[in-house]
Chain A
C-alpha cells in the first residue's frame, strides 16, 4: 500500500501560497501570522472528545480500523534481523486465532533494517501496490537529527534504495527554536528530494516534529504548517524517544492544521501520532478526534496512522473480547 505522491517540485506548495520569490522573511511572517492557540481551550476540547462512548458495532469497526492504521514499530539500538523478522511475522498474522484480523499499514524500522523487513515481508510487501504492508524507515539521523545535511540525506537515500516505502524524518528542533525556519524548511525540501526513487516516484515523507521538544502549541502549529509547506505528506508528533510523545491535544491541533490546509488548497495531508498510545481505549479517542475534526475521509490509513508497538496487542485483546464475550489475558496474544 502506497500513498500516491505526485512528483511535484518539492517546495511548490510554499511557492503557490507565499509567492515566487520565496524568502525566509516571507516564511517567518506567514508562520507567525497564523492564528494563536489557546492551550486551555485546546485541552478542554480534546478532553471532551475523549468522553465519546464507542460501543458494540462502532467499537468493532474502530478496533479493525485502528489495526489498519498502525505502523508497527521497533526502533531500538539492539534490533536484530531476528527481531525485525519477528515484528514482520506479527504484522502478517496479528492474531492466529482469527484470520479475519486485518493487518497493520506498515512496519517501521531503522534504515539499516529496511532490507530485512522487505525480505521478511516477501510477497506481502506492498512495493507500490495498495494492498500490501509498507516498510517505513526512520531517517535523517533519527531521533535527534543532529548530523550534517549530507549525512541526513544519505541516510534517507539508503533507506529508499533498500525499499522503504515511507520515510519518517525528524526536523531540526534546535534550528526551529532558534527561529531559523528557513533551515528547517530547506532540510525538509532536500529530504523530500532524497525520497525520489530512480523511476521518478517518491517514497512517502512523514515529518516528525518532536512536539515534546517544541513544547508550546503555537510552536506545534507553526512547525506543522512549515512541514506541509515544505512538502511533507504526513506530519507526525514524535519520535517516541522524548516525553511527552503523542498527546490528544497535540494531535487535535495537528488535525486542525491539516483540515485548514484542505480548506485552503483542497489537498489532504496525513497525521501520525506516535509514542505512548498503548490501549485500544486511547486509540478510539484519537479516531473520534480525527472524525469530528477532519471528517470521516481522514479515517483512512493514507491519512492517519498510529506509531505504536504495544497498542496492537491491546486492540487484539479487545477484539477477542468482542468476538468471544470474554476477556482473555496477555498470554492469548503473541509477542513480537
Chain B
C-alpha cells in the first residue's frame, strides 16, 4: 500500500442520537407540520437520514405568533445582561456538543468532517460568544443610547453552511433583543433541529427561537407574513430578488446575502506556494459551494504557466471521498440538482472554448460527486466567468497590469469577495481600495471572524453580518 493511500480514518457516527422524524419547533414545542413531510438524504450515500415536517401557512403563522408573544412578554423586556447569559450558555453547549454537531453537519450536507470540525462548528460557537458579549453593550453599536430591537425576525438560510448560517442569523438577532423564526434549507435541516435541542438544554424561554422546516414555499410564506418586522435571507440572487420585490412598500427591514463570483488575483510577485494554497482553499473549500468562493482566478500573464502547473500538482493531492473520513478534502455535492447545475455549466464552459482539467480521481458510485476542476483559457465573456457555479470549479483568466486586474475583477454583477496575492504591501492596499467587493482578503482567503462585517456589493446583496454593522442590522435607534 502506498503511503498516500492513507488507511480509512472514519469519524464514528455513534455519537449521534438522531430521531427518525423531526417536527417543527414552535413556541418551545415539537409540533406536526401541516404540509407533507420529506426526507433529508446524505449526499455521499443517498441514504435517508430522517424525515422532516413541512410548515404550511398555518404553521408559519403559529411560529410568528409564538415569536411575537415571546418578544412581548419575555425576550423584549429582558435585560441585555440576562439575554447575554442565555447566549453564553448556548455557546458553551455548542462547544460541548461540537463533535456531534460536526458529524451531523457532515452527514447531512456532504462536506468533509475536517471542515465541520475545524471551521463550521468552532465558528458557530465563536459567533454566539461574540454576540453574547454585545447583548449588554448595545449603547455602543453606533445607534445612540438604548437602541431597540425590531421585534420578530424571519430568517431563511441556505444549505452550504447550515449551522453556521443559523448562527450568523440567530446570534445577533437574539443579542439585540429580537425573537426569531428560522427556516433551514430543505436539503440540510438536521443541525437546525439539533440546535432546537441546544436551546432546550439552555433553558431558552419558549418562542424566542422557532425553527420551521420546508421548501421554498415555506420560506416565501415566512418572509411575507405581515407580523414579521425584519427579514434576513442568505441564498441565491434570484430568490433574493423575489423577496426584495415582495417586501417593497412594507415597513419590514431586509438584509440579503446573495451570490458571488469572487476574483482571486495573483500578481507575479506573489508568495507562490502560499498563493496556490489560497487558490485551492478559495475554490475547493466546501466543494466550492461558498457564496464568497474565489471562483475566478485572475493570474498575471507572466506567471500563468507556473501557477497553473503548481496548482494542478497540488490538486492532484486533494482527497475526494467519504465526508466522514478525517482525511477527506473534497466531500459530496449537496444535492443532485446542484450536481446537475455544476455539470451543465462546466460542459458549457468547455463548449465555449475553455480547457477543462481535473486530477485523476475515482468518484464513488453512490452519491453526488464532482471532481475538483480547473478550466483555463476562460475569457471574461465566457459563461463560466460570469455565472455563479457554486461548485468545485475554478475559471482561470489572465491580466497584464494592475488596472486590468481591477477592471476584470469588478466586471461582474456580483461583489461579495476578492483576494489579492502580492508581496508588495502598497500594491495590495491600492488594489484592495479599488475592488468593489464586500470582503477583500490579502494573501489569504476564506477567513471569517465574528468581529468582521461580511456582505456584498451590487447583486451580492445588502446589509452586513458580523461586527458592529451586523448588530446594527437587528436594531433601530432608540426613542
Contact = CB atoms under 8 A, between A and B. Distances in A.
Contact of A296 (B4, B114, B271, B273): B4
* Interface hub of B5, B9, B270 (most chain A Cβ within 10 A): B9
A107 B9 CA distance: 35
Contacts of A36: 269-271, 423
Given A35-B271, A36-B271, A36-B423, A41 B4 contact: no
B336 interface: no
Contacts of A37: 271, 273-274
Interface in B1-16: 1-9
A287 B277 contact: no
Contact of A40 (B1, B7, B444): B444
B141 interface: no
Given A35-B272, A41-B277, A41-B278, A54 B4 contact: no
A197 interface: no
B317 interface: yes
Nearest to A47: B118
A299 interface: yes
B6 A58 contact: yes
B326 interface: yes
Contact of B273 (A42, A52, A299): A42
Nearest to A34: B272
B3 A51 contact: no
Interface string A26-51: 00000000011110111011000001
B443 A40 contact: yes
Contacts of A291: 3-4
A284 B273 CA distance: 22
Contact of B7 (A42, A56, A65, A299): A56
A101 B278 CA distance: 41
Q: Which 9 A-B pairs have the closest CB atoms?
A: A41-B274, A53-B9, A38-B271, A53-B326, A36-B423, A38-B274, A58-B7, A35-B272, A56-B7
A51 B272 CA distance: 23
15 contacts: A35-B269, A35-B272, A38-B271, A40-B274, A40-B443, A45-B274, A51-B114, A52-B326, A52-B327, A54-B6, A55-B9, A57-B7, A58-B3, A65-B3, A299-B3
Contacts of B327: 52-53
Interface in B307-350: 317, 326-327
Given A35-B271, A45-B277, A58-B1, 5 more contacts: A36-B269, A36-B270, A45-B274, A54-B9, A55-B9
Interface string B1-35: 11111111100000000000000000000000000
Interface of B: 1-9, 114, 118, 269-275, 277-278, 317, 326-327, 423, 443-444
Interface residues of A, number: 27
A39 B156 CA distance: 39
Contacts of B269: 35-36
B270 A292 contact: no
A116 interface: no
A61 B1 contact: yes
A154 interface: no
Most chain B beta-carbon neighbours within 10 Å: one of A51, A53, A54, A256:
A53
Given A40-B444, A41-B277, A41-B278, A52 B6 contact: yes
Contacts of A53: 6, 9, 326-327
A116 to B, nearest CB: 36
Interface in A48-74: 51-59, 61-62, 65
A152 to B, nearest CB: 33
Interface of A: 35-38, 40-42, 44-45, 51-59, 61-62, 65, 256, 287, 291-292, 296, 299
A42 B274 contact: yes
A265 B45 CA distance: 45
Contact of A57 (B1, B272, B317): B1
Given A36-B423, A55-B8, A292-B317, A41 B271 contact: yes
Contacts of A40: 274, 443-444
A21 B275 CA distance: 34
Nearest to B5: A58
Contacts of B444: 40-41, 44
Contacts of B317: 292
B446 to A, nearest CB: 11
A85 B1 CA distance: 36
Nearest to B329: A48
Interface centre among B6, B269, B278, by most A CB within 10 Å? Answer: B6
B440 to A, nearest CB: 16
Contacts of B7: 54-59
Nearest to B273: A256
B443 A38 contact: yes
Contact of B3 (A38, A55, A62): A62
Contacts of A296: 2-4
A54 B8 CA distance: 8
Given A35-B273, A37-B271, A55-B9, A292 B4 contact: yes
Contacts of B272: 35
Which of B6, B7, B273, B443 has the most chain A CB within a 10 Å cutoff?
B273
Contacts of B273: 35, 37, 41-42, 45, 256
Contacts of B2: 296
A102 B269 CA distance: 46
Contacts of A287: 3
Contacts of B277: 41, 44-45
Nearest to A252: B273
Q: Which of A41, A51, A256 has the most CB atoms of chain B within a 10 A radius of its CB?
A: A41
Contacts of A41: 271, 273-275, 277-278, 443-444
B221 to A, nearest CB: 43
Contacts of A51: 114, 118, 326
Nearest to B4: A291
A256 B310 CA distance: 11
Nearest to B422: A36
Contacts of B3: 58, 61-62, 65, 287, 291, 296, 299
A59 B118 CA distance: 23
Nearest to A65: B3
Contacts of A256: 273
A36 B443 CA distance: 12
Nearest to B274: A41
B280 to A, nearest CB: 10
B423 to A, nearest CB: 4
A60 to B, nearest CB: 9
A313 B27 CA distance: 60
